[in-house]
Chain A
């Protein structure tokens, strides 16, 4: 069995984001990067499948982007992936989900994967489209936003998170693409021996396989929303807070 985990490296969300020169995405100055949180759940799920099957499946991590994304790949290797593929692409951050999905699909095409795991969305772009696009391009079944995962008899049984806390259970046939929601599992913290081993695992650069597909969407403008007046924090004893809140509501919000 072969498993592919697609990971994205994203900026830490605590940063103050500023538009880049073209105004079409954020600039990278002063940013620090980490693995997309949802993709950590995907990596963890892949490793758990591997462990449950006695180590038989080969788990490949894939990331598209500039040289820095190899840090995320090393982390995936330290968590337990067997090998990593890096598609060098300095323009990756501004590519639309369709382009990213088509690069993934091209790399995955002839490598015989039975299962593709990835985060349900990225923390920065948040399109949640890459997974389903990859499934469509490869002709795989697809389940998104999964919070429970079980593999057996060539099928994957998952639970999906729906709106309002509802769940749906479904079974999809392999090969499949599954996108992972937070809470699916607790991503492991790599142990030191595994970090050291990861340094020696194969991390290969692969060509994107020709010109990227045409973008289906273009980001016209990246901007900060108009600033609103600062909120007000009311501190003090509970009774005082309640009284002052009541006053403010009466004065400003015309609450009867």
Chain B
């Protein structure tokens, strides 16, 4: 006899009608639930997140089935992925059963779950059930072990119980059936249901009608639980099974960190967000895509140093407000101190497996505070903004002295008629900050050594506006940006290089919307190319240099530049000892999000926390590639007594070429 099994064994085909009625009811509950959520999401402002629909769908499918983001934290990630994959197999198996039993067999008289396919089907589902149980058990153990550290609500335990019950009753239904039909009559077949068969063997012997009644009862219970799962989807955290992949579908496809560039002259417009309804529908949706996994909060440097910010809480407050008080002030619910504490380091968003866009929300809230209420995180920031407005730098130095750092160096000033290969946009820190002027000088030396002719904007250079933008003052940002763009265009430069990760982000990404034409590069990749092209002769045999490299948020997570600086360090003969958190997981120095201009009044200091990670490597030198990072880390290391020195990548290279 060809191996197969009778579908609807014991329960009979009579159940089809009531079963589908129940399925319809569960589906209706599902649809109703999501329709209610949809009403909440639609309270947000419009934003187009459905361009390139096929590419979006493919990315969403890949993300959901690939589980890559989930697996980045392996302890919860591996069991979750195993559970999801096996649950998907079980779901597919159930669909196959439905296809045969309720469609192909009654309508066409054809069956396909037989023979080898049936054996494979049977074994696959059995094993999938086992793996799903294992994954679920691992997650349960983790949740119990992390009690007090991982928030567990009644809903979390409830969802665990439901999923367990579904899997266990599934196996029980199978076991009773196998005990009655296969163990004795077809032991060879039972081997292809190893878990069900093993369970069947442990069942006490029972009379045929007892077995039949028990099977029927279990079958209905299992069905009810499964339909309960379907109906519960929109109403519990299980909704993430739908909303998380959808969140990926609706993801922002622009270069990472892109912010909207509003037309500030628009008549009667309000700017930024102070209420849920001021945010986009995707922001409100995000709250439903969030699973509460807390990875954002764990990655957040502000949260880690005792500030009142939790990216998770921001998302949840927005979700709560959207559902119950869409016109109420989010600023009060989230708290201004929390909003100002963000360093826009992107660690939360990078860690989020649900594609939640935390940073944009924070900037939107700040835009309201800055543009509509004229607020700053402190008086020192107000002064700095005033200085940017008047003097084109946050320190308030005279713009006429901006190029003094270049005295005695072989650089031309744009417009002086000398030819140049690149325009070096030094930025405010390299122009005025005593320590960072050394970086600018080193970079020029490196360029000179490679035969690259460097021009600067001189007095016409001004603040790129990046910190100001992150502080929400879009007006001053656009004003500053326009001046910079005009100056760069007037210089006729084809290629711009900057040594500042923040200038780099502004010029290469933010200015796209404002019409900057030349290409913009950061000095890490620029020097890496020079080194690779053999244009830099570095004394790799010089005394070996042990160092650690601090990934700037604006280079790493924002722009994906991780390898270039390390390649340069390798070419310079340096050995890099990685910090406890490096690459995409690197911790912020505390200077992003405009915080470089602000006093850190709440909690402990972010730069000290990062400096200690650097110190812990034991390396005598910490290499940075951003003036904010350099300043913050130097400051942070001072706090703990003698420690490693901080140097910019350009300084390391300049030393090694003997410049």
Contacts and interface: CB of A to CB of B under 8 A. Distances in A.
A14 B401 CA distance: 10
A169 to B, nearest CB: 27
Nearest to B272: A192
Given A14-B396, A14-B398, A30-B400, A191 B390 contact: no
Given A12-B390, A14-B391, A32-B391, A191 B372 contact: yes
Nearest to B271: A192
A215 interface: no
A191 B400 CA distance: 29
B451 interface: no
Interface residues of B, number: 26
Interface string A189-203: 111110110000000
Contact of B371 (A14, A31, A191): A191
Nearest to B379: A186
A196 B265 CA distance: 7
A113 interface: no
A253 B551 CA distance: 51
13 contacts: A15-B398, A16-B400, A30-B398, A30-B399, A32-B392, A188-B374, A189-B375, A189-B382, A191-B372, A192-B271, A193-B371, A193-B372, A195-B475
Contacts of B265: 196
Nearest to A11: B398
B270 to A, nearest CB: 8
Contacts of A16: 398, 400-401
B537 interface: no
Nearest to B375: A189
Interface of B: 264-265, 270-271, 371-376, 379, 382, 385-386, 390-392, 396-401, 459, 474-475
Contacts of B375: 189
Contacts of A12: 390-391, 396, 398
Contact of A14 (B270, B374, B397, B459): B397
Interface in A85-111: none
> Among A12, A191, A192, A193, which residue has the most Cβ atoms of chain B within 10 A?
A192
A193 B266 CA distance: 10
Contacts of B475: 192, 195
B391 A30 contact: no
A196 B391 CA distance: 22
Interface of A: 12, 14-16, 30-34, 186, 188-193, 195-196
Nearest to A75: B389
Contacts of B391: 12, 14, 32
Given A15-B400, A192-B271, A192-B475, A34 B390 contact: yes
Given A189-B374, A192-B372, 14 more contacts: A12-B390, A12-B398, A14-B391, A14-B396, A14-B397, A16-B400, A30-B399, A31-B398, A31-B400, A32-B392, A32-B398, A186-B379, A191-B372, A196-B265
The 5 A-B residue pairs whose C-beta atoms are closest, nearest first, are: A30-B400, A189-B374, A192-B371, A15-B398, A34-B390
A152 B475 CA distance: 38
B467 to A, nearest CB: 16
A34 B396 CA distance: 12
Contacts of A188: 374
Given A32-B390, A34-B390, A192 B398 contact: no
Contact of B374 (A34, A191, A196): A191
A33 B390 CA distance: 7
A190 B479 CA distance: 15
Contacts of B385: 189
A110 to B, nearest CB: 35
Contacts of B379: 186
Contacts of B371: 191-193
A193 B374 CA distance: 10
A14 B270 CA distance: 35
Contacts of B264: 192, 196
B383 to A, nearest CB: 10
A174 B175 CA distance: 98
Given A14-B391, A14-B396, A190 B374 contact: yes
A43 to B, nearest CB: 14
A33 B398 CA distance: 11
A43 B475 CA distance: 22
A166 B396 CA distance: 32
Contacts of B400: 15-16, 30-31
A30 B460 CA distance: 11
A187 to B, nearest CB: 9
Contacts of B374: 188-191
A47 to B, nearest CB: 12
Contacts of A190: 374
A196 B194 CA distance: 75
A111 B280 CA distance: 50
Nearest to A194: B374
